[in-house]
Amino acid sequence: MNYNTHEHINISESIECGQSDETPDKSPSNEQNYINYEGHEGSEGTSGSSSMGTHIFYSLPKDIDIFRDLIPYFQKLEDSPVKNSILHLLLTFQKLLNQINQINLSVYLPPLQLRPDEDGSVLIEWIFRDFRIGFLIEPDDSESSWYLVSNSNLNDLSQSGTLNVKDCESLLNEIISFVLRYV
């Protein structure tokens, strides 16, 4: 996929978004602090629980830790299918960012922002100087969507599509590739 500013971005409108069962290595050689999904700091053997089982957000280096401002807002969400969908999305993001961390890129990634709405939906936005990416998680999974919009510095790009949060890894891979090209 080529993201030159004069070409149209070809992110499929119906790419489905994926859960990964992989978690980062907790071995002493890969020492990391981590936070369970409920936001409690932990140590090896400590875990959070949900109807989905144990899930942990590992602390990433500050420059790529897009979760750094998100955990307090995530904690405040009531348990629901929307919260579970957000968890799937975030864990997939985490897996991909851990892969970036392994290749030691020198890049700064702004934090994700989470905005709940009165109708039970939640907007997760990733805002950059010249573009923004959003994921709208709806109570009815079939209505969830994503978007990428840019300013005139990137030719006013606009892409959007449906979002199947349970199978989103390929979409997030494409989005992260775009981000790394333009940050």
Q: How far apart are CA 156 and CA 174, in angstroms?
A: 18
pLDDT tens-place string over residues 13-70: 333 333 333 443 433 333 344 444 443 333 333 333 333 333 456 677 888 889 888 8
Q: Is residue 19 part of a domain?
A: no
Q: Is residue 10 part of a domain?
A: no
Q: Is residue 161 part of a domain?
A: yes
Percent of the chain past pLDDT 90, that is, above it, reads 50
The structure's pTM equals 0.72
* Average pLDDT score over residue span 155-181: 95
Q: Is residue 72 part of a domain?
A: yes
Q: How many domains does the chain have?
A: 1
Q: Is residue 1 part of a domain?
A: no
Q: What is the model's pLDDT at position 57? A: 64
Residue of higher predicted confidence among 18 and 181: 181
Domain range for 86: 28-182
pLDDT tens-place string over residues 66-87: 988 887 888 888 889 999 999 9
Q: Is residue 178 part of a domain?
A: yes
Confidence of residue 113 (pLDDT cuts 50, 70, 90): very high
SS3 state of residue 19: coil
Q: Is residue 16 part of a domain?
A: no
pLDDT tens-place string over residues 132-142: 999 999 999 99
Average confidence score pLDDT of the chain:
75
- With contact defined as beta carbons under 8 Å apart, do 173 and 155 qualify? no
